[in-house]
Amino acid sequence: MSIFSGVNTSASALTSQRLRMDVISANMANAESTRATMVDGEWQPYRRKMVVMQPNEKQPFSQFLNRAMGRSNTEVGDGVKVTAIVDDQTPFKQVYNPEHPDANDQGYVQLPNVDPLREMVDLMSATRSYEANVTTLNASKNMLLKALEIGR
């Protein structure tokens, strides 16, 4: 365990949550985009994106050795990493609007599967996580500074 492990853990979480907020912002910006991608010669609406995160698993040899020897080992997390940005596969919304340029023969328009309420809740969650990690980072920084003052 490094003296900077707390800082590194918070830094990885800050990076991941910022990317999550960027993806949510892109979802909100494209909530009405009916022509986002071309599939088989036809325009498709924007499909909501989601961030997939998982724990960083950098285990040093000492953890494997202690586990093999049956010693209790307090495992410290190594933060998180973004593994993928995936498309939400929920169906598109169908809205009746025959005057819309992208309406089909029956007068229905396919709109993106972005729900602004869900996006706002996700944004609030990401913001709170970001704030909590900033607080943790500041606490780690203050502890390191206090440890340096002991040596004076």
What average pLDDT does the segment 119-123 reach?
A: 97
pLDDT digits (tens, 9 = 90+) for 123-144: 999 999 999 999 999 999 999 8
- Residue 71 is predicted with a pLDDT of 65
Model pLDDT for residues 66-119, shown as the tens digit of each residue: 777 776 555 556 788 999 999 999 999 999 999 999 899 999 999 999 999 999
pLDDT of residue 135: 95
Asked whether residue 152 carries a pLDDT value surpassing 90, the answer given is no
Whether the Cβ atoms of residue 16 and residue 82 lie closer than 8 Å to each other: yes
Q: What was the pLDDT predicted at 84?
A: 95
Strands 42-44 vs 37-39: parallel, antiparallel or unpaired: antiparallel
Which secondary-structure segment (H or E) carries 146? helix 116-150
Question: What are the domain boundaries of the chain?
Answer: 5-31+49-87+114-150
> Could you give phi then psi for residue 90, rounded to 5 degrees?
-65, 150
Q: What is the pLDDT of residue 76?
A: 58
Per-residue confidence (pLDDT) for residue 27, from 0 to 100:
96
Q: For 11-66, what is each residue's pLDDT tens digit? A: 999 999 999 999 999 999 999 998 888 888 888 999 999 999 998 876 666 666 77
DSSP line for 75-93 = PPP--EEEEEEEE--SPPE
Whether the Cβ atoms of residue 44 and residue 53 lie closer than 8 Å to each other = no
Q: What is the pLDDT of residue 148?
A: 87
Cα 102 from Cα 44, distance rounded (Å): 10
Q: Which long-range contacts (CB under 8 A, 24 or more apart) does 89-94 make?
A: 89/47, 90/48, 92/45, 92/47
DSSP 8-state symbol, 107: S
Neighbours of 45 (CB within 10 A): 22
